[in-house]
């Protein structure tokens, strides 16, 4: 049961026990589905709201190959109106988790046979999230004069678009005529 006071599911849901696959020989695989309907804190700098998609784990000589095609909901900022909105990113992941773990890698399965999807998801989602996105295709953005969000209110500003360079020129002309 999920408590209503629980804001984020633990990222433990991203830790998969692959002991059974490790003891199976190379070539064995397991297909499953990730379906996480609630928010998960993946890392210090990343919370995902939802996640769903097929996941395949394959035992190889070197470890466990992770393949997944995920639809991930994140809270993003519209690059036009700067408001937060629910954004869905499609992420295709394919990564070999080494086992036994060599010295320097983020992706490994340790002696506890736990495969942690968190570092992989973080890497992939942050790349996707860095792409510009709009809250909706026809986002009207922010009024350059008064700063109001034009999706929510229409302001009375003169919306005649003036090229900023021409605006500077006009100010220059205004001030030089005032000097004269
Ligand atoms: Zn917007
Ligand atoms: Zn305005």
pLDDT in tens, 128-139: 988 999 999 999
Distance 48 CA to ligand 2 centre (A): 34
CA 131–ligand 2 middle distance (angstroms): 27
Q: How far is the CA of 139 from the centre of ligand 1 (A)?
A: 5
Residues with CB under 5 A from ligand 2 (ion): 143, 145-146, 155, 157
Rg (CA), the chain: 25
The number of the ligand nearest the C-alpha atom of 158 reads: 2
Distance 143 CA to ligand 2 centre (A): 5
**CB-CB contact of 93 with 70 (8 Å):** yes
Q: In sequence order, which residues have a C-beta less than 8 Å from that of residue 179 and are 6 or more positions away?
A: none
Centre of ligand 2 from the C-alpha of residue 60, in Å: 60
Q: Once rounded to an integer, what is the mean pLDDT over residues 13-28?
A: 93
Q: Are 66 and 97 in contact (CB under 8 A)?
A: yes
For residue 74, which of 101, 94, 45 has the smallest C-alpha distance?
A: 45
Q: Which of the residue ranges 68-72, 91-95, 163-167 would you say has the lowest mean pLDDT?
A: 163-167
Convert the pLDDT of each residue in 72-126 to its tens digit: 999 999 999 999 999 999 999 999 999 988 777 889 999 999 999 999 999 999 9
C-alpha 159: how far from chain center: 34
How does residue 149 score in pLDDT terms, banded at 50, 70 and 90?
very high
């Amino acid at each position: 049961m999920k408590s209503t006071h629980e804001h984020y599911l633990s990222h433990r849901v991203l830790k998969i026990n692959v002991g059974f696959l490790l003891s199976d020989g190379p070539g064995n695989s397991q297909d499953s589905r990730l379906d996480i309907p609630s928010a998960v804190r993946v890392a210090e700098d990343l919370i995902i709201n939802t996640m769903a998609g097929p996941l395949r784990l394959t035992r190889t000589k070197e470890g466990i190959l992770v393949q997944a095609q995920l639809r991930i909901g994140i809270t993003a900022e519209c690059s036009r109106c700067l408001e937060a909105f629910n954004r869905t990113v499609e992420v295709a992941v394919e990564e070999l988790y080494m086992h036994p773990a060599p010295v320097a890698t983020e992706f490994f399965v340790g002696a506890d046979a736990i495969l942690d999807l968190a570092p992989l998801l973080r890497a992939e989602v942050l790349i996707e999230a860095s792409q510009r996105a709009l809250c909706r295709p026809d986002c009207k953005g922010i009024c350059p004069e008064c700063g109001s969000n034009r999706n929510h209110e229409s302001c009375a500003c003169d919306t005649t678009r003036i090229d900023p360079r021409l605006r500077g020129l006009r100010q220059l002309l205004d001030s030089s005529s005032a000097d004269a």
